[in-house]
A and B are shown apart, each in its own frame.
Chain A
Amino acid sequence: MNIWLTALRLAIGSLRAYKVRSFLTMLGIIIGIGSVIVMINVGRGAEVNIQEQIRNLGSNMLMIFSGSSRSGGVRGGFGTKPSLRVKDAEAIARECPAVAEVTYSIVKNMQIVAGNSNWGTSVQGTTPEYRLVRNWPVKYGEFINAHHMKSAASVVVLGSAVAENLFESWEDVIGQKIRINNFPFRIIGVMNSKGRTPAGRDQDDVVFVPYTTAMRKLMGSRLPGVVHFIGVSAHSKQLVAEAKREVEELLRQRHRILTEADDDFTLRTLDEIAAASEKTGNIMTLLLTSVAAVSLVVGGIGIMNVMLVSVTERTREIGIRMAVGARERDVLIQFLVESTTMSFVGGLLGILLGIGASRAITHLAKWPTIISIDAIFLATLFSAAVGIFFGFYPARKAASLDPIEALNYE
């Protein structure tokens, strides 16, 4: 143990003797470790942020989209083949015990006119349950209710982004008239802001009208009873998988899909979306971290360079130490401990830099970052390992010097 303590004392002495050089050498490690820490922190922060957004989409929600159309070799996206109907949604509500609420909607982009301003947005014809499935509170006024549905009332609920774009103040928008497709609608509510989806779409850029009204006045009668989307909420988080199984089975049965044939709809749970985005997030973090790791290796090479120079410069010192009885091992350990101390101290400074930079990013760019303890632990280990790995060759070189040649070195 003593031999290591002595070597450590020597190493610290030597680092202090060559302050500027030691610092410049450590800079590579400082930057390397610092960027690894920042990358991991930003990656973790983004991941947690995305998971938060996904949870925000709805509570225990399942999303069902109609299947994709196929015309020759060209396949449309989700919802291009109108395979889902209102009756499907009603059947799900009736026959699936794990399901709590069911909603459905039909969507079309339209131009909305209010006074002398207008705005193009997505118009959703939907049901009163939509608010429950999406777990989306109303800010002012009320949401569509059963009475509106039954009477196909010309009422509209605005997403907050639409309200912001059409009106200067929000307080008096309730009761005002807007026109969609030249039909007048009365505003009955404004939704809370829900922010962006993980994909970046602004969820607040939307207006809601009763499904019945949408079918009669806006979408035309081309597709009676067709819906683009069915949203289902399970009774609890544990029942999401069960609900998915029930819904899938029911829809296949209703659509008369043969056992071996593919579904003509797409069913997604939030967990699946979360898992997929976590995977992408992990890949991104891994990529960024490996780029940062490269700079760490470059830092290690820097240490090796300086140690090689240092060994040459201190050849005479090595000779003196050998003459008074230092064994190869003693010299090897001395230089190894020196390089490791350098990279370790560099690593610690890098960690501080990384934490500081993460804080700055959160503060300036408003990106969430999470200080990851295991990343710090790993960085510490890794920086020490870099010192040992890149310090070994110079230390080996020092230890294998011939004492006489070293003593006579000019």
Chain B
Amino acid sequence: MVKPIIRTKQLIKRYPMEGETIVALKGIDLEIQSGEFLAVMGPSGSGKSTLMHILGLLDSLTEGTYELEGLNVSHISREMRADLRNQKIGFVFQTFNLLARSTALDNVKLPMLYLRPRINGSHKKAMEALKSVGLADRASHLPRQLSGGQQQRVAIARALVNNPALILADEPTGNLDTKTGREIMDLLSSLHERGITVIIVTHDPEIGRLTRRRILVRDGIIIQDEED
């Protein structure tokens, strides 16, 4: 029996902008089982990024509830959110977001720097993660010495290094050519096969087709939820 890794009820997000209140999410009910591979889709401004930020505990919600692995995280402190991001969630961004002055290896080590309690053998673990994305021989390279696809692989290795339950990828192929994008999608798909929950946020239907479940968000609500 699979248990839900994510469950939200009537998730509402409002934030002020230039004196007006924007309602980005207007009541999202969503349940994602552990080990799923799904895409959150929608045009820009649909609220899919806001949804991802809240699911990724980068942002707080205004109303409703959010349970992550059965734990109610609706209104927890900034500090607790940081700890949960560190231990449960791995991020992959469109722009890779690697530290430009650190080597690939140091970038992968970064999440372990903030892991509590601290662990030994972070070097070995980081090397293993790099190996799993096929970049063991690029460990001492700086991001600018790597191609876009390689940089994204480093970012994925970084997302994996603390053994998260959930990988959140925001337009992971957006800055890559089709072929490289495809390779990255294959890599993410293989993570899903290893049992990790992978959520991809994208506006690209091509990418959506590669996943098992697609959620379509428009104007802050889910208008479609289809599964293969």
Contacts and interface: CB of A to CB of B under 8 A. Distances in A.
Interface string B165-178: 00000000000000
Contact of A2 (B86, B99, B118): B118
Contacts of B99: 317, 320
A352 interface: no
A321 interface: yes
Interface string B78-93: 1100110111000101
B115 interface: yes
A324 B91 contact: yes
Nearest to A319: B97
Contacts, number: 58
A324 B83 contact: no
Nearest to B82: A327
A323 B101 contact: no
Contacts of A270: none
A157 B49 CA distance: 102
Nearest to A330: B114
B58 A403 contact: yes
Given A323-B58, A326-B114, A404 B53 contact: yes
A17 interface: yes
B79 A327 contact: yes
Interface string A243-266: 000000000000000000000000
A325 B83 contact: yes
Interface in B92-113: 93, 97-99, 101, 110-111, 113
Chain A interface size band reads: 20 to 34
Contacts of A325: 82-83, 85-87, 111, 114-115, 162
A107 interface: no
B79 A320 contact: no
B59 interface: yes
A335 to B, nearest CB: 15
Given A330-B114, A403-B58, A322 B97 contact: no
Interface string A306-345: 0000000000110111111111111000000000000000
* Max count, chain B CB within 10 A of own CB: residue among A13, A320, A329, A330: A320
A53 B218 CA distance: 91
Interface residues of B, number: 25
B158 interface: yes
A407 interface: yes
B86 A324 contact: yes
A269 to B, nearest CB: 68
Contacts of A321: 110, 114
A324 B110 contact: yes
Contacts of B58: 322-323, 403-404, 407
Contacts of B101: 13, 17
A303 B221 CA distance: 48
A317 B107 CA distance: 11
Interface in A377-410: 403-404, 407
* Max count, chain A CB within 10 A of own CB: residue among B78, B83, B91, B113: B113
A6 interface: yes
B67 to A, nearest CB: 20
Contacts of A328: 78-79, 82
Given A330-B114, A404-B53, A404-B58, A323 B79 contact: no
A407 B97 contact: yes
Interface of B: 53, 56, 58-59, 78-79, 82-83, 85-87, 91, 93, 97-99, 101, 110-111, 113-115, 118, 158, 162
20 contacts: A6-B113, A13-B101, A316-B97, A320-B97, A320-B98, A320-B99, A320-B110, A322-B58, A322-B82, A324-B85, A324-B110, A325-B83, A325-B85, A325-B87, A325-B111, A325-B115, A325-B162, A326-B114, A328-B82, A404-B58
Interface of A: 2, 6, 13, 17, 316-317, 319-330, 403-404, 407
